[in-house]
Amino acid sequence: MKFCTKHWEHLKANTPKGTWLMGTLLAMKKILDTPRSEGGAIAIAPDATIYQFIAVPAELDLYVQAPGYQDWVLVEYGELFN
């Protein structure tokens, strides 16, 4: 847990102002693309991860991935709330 907190603080401190959201998305994607055996979040078969999601409520965006099948796809669902 200390690594994660330290990593996020470093990311915040070293991301240019106005790009925090993009830096956060890239960091989340990197964590979710890294196998659990290497400290990440993705499980390799037989306990395979089927889908992964990153929600950005402020932007009404959802990023979805099916590891090994489909790379990250942006789903913009803001129009559903207009």
Instruction: Determine the Cα–Cα distance for residues 9 and 3; give it in Å rounded to an integer.
Output: 10
The pLDDT assigned to 3 comes to 42
The pLDDT value given to residue 15: 62
Q: Tell me the mean pLDDT in the region 19-25.
A: 65
Quick check: 37 pLDDT over 70? Answer: yes
Residues 70 and 79: beta-carbon distance below 8 Å = no
**DSSP characters over 35-54:** BGGGTSSBPPTTS----EEE
CB-based contacts of 29: which residues, under 8 Å, 6+ apart?
Answer: 54, 63, 72
Task: Look up the pTM and report it.
Answer: 0.63
Residue 17 has pLDDT above 80, yes or no: no
